[in-house]
């Protein structure tokens, strides 16, 4: 299995070869491959790889499922693949995920005001989804309709998915953008320079509480204070109907060394934005608004 090593972007385009599920698990843990929908896609190919090698599918499932805990797409894809762990099925799931991105992005455009100055966090683009993107997909679709003036890209401490990956994707797409330090969001909002916040998601509970990259919750509080719409764009494969609310979502704690090598550090990788701070959740099924328990669709089955 050949993946683009996202740790090396934007400086270098380097392929990483995973010869078995254990190597893929390492690549996932180290964020060589990352982003909730892409984790599902990678896990699907990992199951197909294991089956082709004649490896134990149950063990492969357990190994990959334990690689990262928050993005529910990973376990969803493993469950989808388990009965039929073939390369054709993994390819079908990959194609479906990209198609969902295109559909949700088209739905999200109506929420983007004309000449929008959009703020985003982490990376929810083609790199994170296997193609096209969720939050970045929405920006891309809005840009094609002439609705985007500028994108503010949170650098996204500590692993810089914003300044390394999102800025790179926006540059390739030709969408004007500036990287900002995470702490700059409040003052830009206060100065009236942000019209909408759009992010992706790693897991959406049944009531709409949404886990995404650490720092997203703070943005939602800021957006509410400044009267700015806060929108989540994510596929139905990110919805966990089994999680009643955000308290049921496991939050990955990563090595403090990613924050500082000099001092003790705490490094939660995700936080939960309460549903009442979310203006809308957009999936491939459409635009969903509170109460999310009634409006959110159930996760789709794949081909």
Residues 6+ apart with CB under 8 A from 186: 222
Q: Considering the rule CB under 6 A, would residue 36 count as an interface residue with ligand MRU?
A: yes
In order, the DSSP letters of 111-144 are GSPTTEEEEE-S--BHHHHTSSBSHHHHHHHHHH
Q: How far is the CB of 182 from ligand MRU (least distance, A)?
A: 13
Window 55-114: residues binding ligand MRU (CB under 6 A): 71
- Residue 202 annotated to the active site: yes
Determine the interface stretch with ligand MRU among 102-110, 140-148, 200-208, 218-226 (rule: CB under 6 A): 200-208
Q: Considering the rule CB under 6 A, would residue 200 count as an interface residue with ligand MRU?
A: yes
Q: Considering the rule CB under 6 A, would residue 169 count as an interface residue with ligand MRU?
A: no
Burial of 149 (0-12, 13-18, 19+ CB in 10 A): middle
Dihedrals φ, ψ of 190, to 5°? -60, -30
CB 229 within 8 A of CB 197: yes
Report the residue from 122, 167, 232, 296 that binds ligand MRU according to the rule CB under 6 A.
122
Q: How far is the CB of 37 from ligand MRU (least distance, A)?
A: 5
- Count of residues engaged in binding ligand MRU, rule: CB under 6 A: 19
Report the residue from 93, 124, 177, 205 that binds ligand MRU according to the rule CB under 6 A.
124
Report the residue from 112, 138, 170, 201 that binds ligand MRU according to the rule CB under 6 A.
201
Report the residue from 24, 269, 278, 281 that binds ligand MRU according to the rule CB under 6 A.
269
CA distance 270 to 287: 24
Helices marked H in 66-209: 72-81, 87-108, 126-129, 135-144, 161, 167-173, 185-190
CA distance 56 to 270: 31
Instruction: Count the Cβ atoms, other than its own, within 10 Å of residue 281.
Output: 26
CB 206 within 8 A of CB 243: yes
Q: Considering the rule CB under 6 A, would residue 129 count as an interface residue with ligand MRU?
A: yes
Q: Considering the rule CB under 6 A, would residue 128 count as an interface residue with ligand MRU?
A: yes
Of 9 and 57, nearer to ligand MRU (C-beta) is 9
Q: Considering the rule CB under 6 A, would residue 212 count as an interface residue with ligand MRU?
A: yes
Among 5, 202, 240, 271, the active-site one is: 202
Tokens of 109: 């455009």
CA distance 218 to 224: 10
Report the residue from 37, 69, 85, 299 that binds ligand MRU according to the rule CB under 6 A.
37
Residues classed as catalytic: 202
Binding footprint of ligand MRU on the chain (CB under 6 A): 31, 34-37, 71, 122, 124, 128-129, 134, 161, 199-202, 212-213, 269
């Amino acid at each position: 299995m050949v993946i683009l090593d996202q740790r090396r972007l934007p400086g270098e385009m380097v392929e990483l070869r995973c010869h078995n599920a254990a190597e893929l698990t390492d690549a996932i843990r180290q964020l060589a491959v990352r982003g909730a929908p892409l984790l599902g896609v990678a896990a699907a190919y990992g199951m197909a790889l294991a089956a082709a090698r004649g490896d134990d599918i149950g063990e492969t499932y357990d190994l990959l499922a334990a690689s990262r805990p928050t993005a529910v797409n990973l376990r969803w894809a493993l469950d989808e693949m388990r009965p039929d762990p073939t390369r054709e099925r993994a390819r079908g799931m990959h194609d479906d995920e990209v198609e969902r991105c295109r559909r949700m992005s088209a739905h999200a455009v109506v929420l983007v005001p004309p000449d929008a100055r959009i703020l985003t966090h982490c990376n929810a683009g083609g790199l994170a989804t296997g193609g096209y993107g969720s939050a970045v997909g929405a920006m891309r679709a809005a840009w094609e309709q002439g609705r985007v003036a500028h994108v503010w890209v949170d650098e996204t401490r500590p692993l810089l998915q914003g300044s390394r990956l999102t800025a790179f994707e926006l540059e390739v797409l030709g969408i004007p953008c500036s990287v900002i330090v995470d702490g700059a969001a409040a003052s830009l909002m206060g100065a009236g320079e942000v019209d909408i916040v759009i992010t992706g998601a790693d897991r959406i509970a049944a009531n709409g509480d949404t886990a995404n990259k650490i720092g997203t919750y703070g943005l939602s509080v800021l957006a509410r204070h400044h009267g700015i719409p806060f929108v989540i764009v994510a596929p139905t494969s990110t919805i966990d109907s089994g999680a009643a609310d955000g308290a049921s979502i496991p939050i990955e704690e990563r090595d403090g060394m990613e924050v500082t090598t000099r001092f003790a550090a705490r490094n939660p990788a995700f936080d939960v934005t309460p549903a009442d701070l979310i203006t809308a959740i957009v999936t491939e099924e459409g635009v969903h608004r509170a109460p999310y328990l009634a409006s959110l669709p159930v996760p789709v089955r794949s081909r």
